[in-house]
């Protein structure tokens, strides 16, 4: 998921995920078995050692952030199973070890060391920059590549975390750019209003992308308001929206933080369309605002079986078939894509060396993954603008609109 302070709203979705937690949680540092196999293959970083290639996940299996990491981790397991069923990576089976960060950012480094001590050649990071940076820095200090499933902050780039850290997310700025372009070109809107949670990095990136792109296209940001996640009264912000009379309100926040604002905005009689980022993916938050309408957000894919990409529909159907559980958000796609990218990276590099893998990742140009075209460069370790699923909520029901931009 996005970089959001999940502790303030994970409880809202924890109930619907409890069964998945019980079914999927491994003991800390536990291992998904993969038998030894495969011979060493040479590459610029040295041969891949005999035996399985270990993927280590330093993610939250307990605590406030667990509901956000469970889905992508579930998809990591599914991808590993699929890769192994198809013969592995250059003949090597994949094996997963997991260390529970307990949703404590300070424990991220310890969890990264834990999985590296078990042989991990890649560290899977939690779905958030603030909660994963310690694990990322620790992995990089040991020469091990580290990749977040769905942390959307622009800080997942070499100038902040170094050359060995990546994210499978679409960066927050690009999400904002995407929604700005969609609002201006598809909907014909010319006046926007930004509402931003000042507590999280992702929200700043999201609103920044919207502001810069919408004004560049010729639109006007008629006003801005801020709040801090956890605030429950939005009288001043709603008054500012009313005065500005915009064509749309763009909410840069996590669902838990942004939903109270939406509820009070509608209760105040303001029916202005609301736009948001991928943090609002899924249906778990919508009961908090019964009958909600005219809300639009961009995310990785549709959970409803109506995504125009058959591979996405098959993915969600296959996940449900494996364990009987429906996905709660489309962020699961990023966990599967992480393993797809790792497999291709190892095959390109002929190595599991961190620097060699980083160079292989940086050679990706519109690499076709389950999440869509993936490009990394020496300066960009998180995806920029790419097609995302535009979803809308009308009458309290979620529905797919279109893939945007088309390419």
Instruction: Please tell me the chain's helix, strand, coil percentages from 3-state DSSP, rounded to the nearest 5.
Output: 40, 20, 40
**Residues 16, 318 contacting (CB under 8 angstroms):** no
**Residues 60, 103 contacting (CB under 8 angstroms):** yes
| pLDDT over threshold 50, residue 353 | yes
* 146 Cβ contact partners less than 8 Å away, ≥ 6 residues apart: 112, 122, 123, 124, 125, 135, 136, 139, 140, 164, 165, 166
Distances (CA, A) of 67 to 84, 105, 271, 290: 27, 15, 31, 23
- What tens digit of pLDDT does each residue of 26-35 get? 333 344 544 3
| pLDDT over threshold 90, residue 19 | no
Tell me how far apart the alpha carbons of residues 67 and 15 are, in angstroms, rounded to a whole number.
Answer: 9
- The least confident of 40-49, 210-219, 269-278 is 40-49
Tell me how far apart the alpha carbons of residues 371 and 388 are, in angstroms, rounded to a whole number.
Answer: 9
- What is the longest distance spanned by two Cα atoms in the chain? 68
| pLDDT over threshold 60, residue 376 | yes
Q: How many CB atoms lie within 10 A of CB 50?
A: 12
Q: Where in the chain is the domain with CATH 3.40.50.2300?
A: 53-171+308-384, 173-306+389-404
Could you identify the residue written with the tokens 């536990």? 30
Confidence grade of residue 45 (pLDDT, cut at 50, 70, 90) = very low
| pLDDT over threshold 70, residue 95 | yes
Q: What is the mean pLDDT of the chain?
A: 90
For the domain 53-171+308-384, what is the CATH code? 3.40.50.2300
The beta-strand segments (E) located in 103-229 are 120-125, 145-148, 165-167, 191-197, 220-227
Tell me how far apart the alpha carbons of residues 244 and 207 are, in angstroms, rounded to a whole number.
Answer: 17
| pLDDT at residue 64, rounded to an integer | 87
166 has which bridge partners? 147
**Residues 387, 372 contacting (CB under 8 angstroms):** yes
- Helix, strand, or coil (residue 116): helix
Highest average pLDDT, of 6-15, 25-34, 351-360, comes from 351-360
Distances (CA, A) of 219 to 179, 182, 187, 208, 317: 13, 12, 12, 14, 40
- Helix, strand, or coil (residue 350): coil
* 169 Cβ contact partners less than 8 Å away, ≥ 6 residues apart: 2, 127, 148, 149, 150, 151, 152, 156, 334, 382, 383
Task: List the 120-125 sheet strands across, edge first.
Answer: 31-32, 94-100, 53-59, 120-125, 145-148, 165-167
* CA neighbor of 281 nearest in space, from 183, 393, 371, 187: 393
Distances (CA, A) of 78 to 97, 105, 163, 316, 332: 14, 26, 28, 11, 10
- What tens digit of pLDDT does each residue of 285-299 get? 888 899 999 999 999
| pLDDT over threshold 70, residue 321 | yes
| pLDDT at residue 5, rounded to an integer | 39
| pLDDT at residue 233, rounded to an integer | 96
- What tens digit of pLDDT does each residue of 260-276 get? 999 999 999 999 999 99
| pLDDT over threshold 70, residue 157 | yes
Please tell me which residue, 41 or 146, carries the higher pLDDT value: 146
Burial class (CB in 10 A: 0-12, 13-18, 19+), 372: buried
| pLDDT at residue 406, rounded to an integer | 83
- Architecture in CATH of 173-306+389-404: 3-Layer(aba) Sandwich (3.40)
**Residues 334, 168 contacting (CB under 8 angstroms):** yes
- What tens digit of pLDDT does each residue of 166-178 get? 999 999 999 999 9
Can you tell me the mean pLDDT for 195-209?
94
Confidence grade of residue 221 (pLDDT, cut at 50, 70, 90) = very high
Tell me how far apart the alpha carbons of residues 388 and 373 are, in angstroms, rounded to a whole number.
Answer: 11
Confidence grade of residue 283 (pLDDT, cut at 50, 70, 90) = confident
| pLDDT over threshold 60, residue 257 | yes
Write down the pTM of the prediction: 0.86
Please tell me which residue, 27 or 407, carries the higher pLDDT value: 407
| pLDDT at residue 53, rounded to an integer | 98
- The least confident of 66-70, 148-152, 259-263 is 66-70
**Residues 392, 401 contacting (CB under 8 angstroms):** yes
């Amino acid at each position: 998921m996005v970089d959001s302070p999940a502790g303030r709203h994970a409880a809202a979705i924890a109930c619907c995920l409890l069964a998945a937690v019980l079914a999927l949680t491994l003991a800390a540092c536990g291992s998904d078995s993969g038998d030894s196999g495969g011979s060493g293959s040479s590459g610029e970083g040295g041969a891949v050692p005999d035996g399985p290639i270990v993927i280590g996940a330093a993610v939250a299996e307990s605590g406030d952030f667990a509901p956000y990491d469970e889905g992508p981790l579930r998809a990591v397991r599914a991808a590993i199973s699929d890769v192994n069923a198809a013969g592995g990576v250059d003949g090597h089976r994949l094996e997963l070890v997991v260390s529970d960060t307990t949703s404590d950012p300070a424990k991220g480094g310890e969890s990264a060391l834990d999985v590296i001590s078990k042989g991990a050649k890649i560290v899977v990071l939690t779905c958030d920059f603030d909660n994963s940076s310690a694990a990322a820095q620790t992995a990089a200090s040991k020469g091990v590549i580290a990749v977040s499933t769905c942390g959307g902050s622009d800080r997942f780039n070499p100038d902040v975390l170094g050359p060995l850290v990546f994210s499978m997310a679409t960066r927050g700025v690009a999400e904002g750019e995407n929604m700005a372009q969609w609002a201006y070109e598809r909907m014909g809107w010319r006046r926007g209003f930004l509402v931003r949670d000042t507590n999280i990095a992702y929200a700043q990136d999201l609103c920044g992308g919207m502001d810069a792109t919408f004004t560049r296209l010729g639109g006007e940001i008629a006003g801005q308001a801020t709040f801090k996640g956890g605030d429950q009264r939005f009288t001043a912000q709603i008054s500012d929206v009313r005065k500005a009379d915009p064509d749309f309100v763009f909410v840069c926040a996590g669902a838990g933080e942004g939903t109270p604002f939406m509820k009070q905005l509608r209760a105040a009689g303001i029916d202005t369309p609301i736009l948001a980022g991928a943090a609002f993916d899924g249906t778990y938050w919508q009961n908090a605002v019964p009958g909600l309408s005219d809300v639009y957000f961009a995310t990785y894919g549709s959970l409803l079986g109506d995504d125009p990409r058959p591979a996405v529909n098959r993915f969600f159907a296959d996940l449900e078939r494996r364990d009987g559980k429906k996905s709660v958000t489309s962020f699961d796609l990023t966990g599967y894509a992480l393993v797809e990218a790792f497999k291709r990276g190892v095959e390109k590099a002929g190595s599991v060396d961190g620097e060699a893998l980083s160079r292989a990742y940086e050679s990706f140009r519109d690499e076709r993954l389950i999440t869509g075209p993936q490009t990394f460069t020496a300066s960009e370790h998180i995806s920029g603008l790419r097609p995302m699923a535009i979803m809308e909520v009308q009458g309290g029901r979620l529905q797919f609109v279109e893939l945007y931009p088309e390419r």
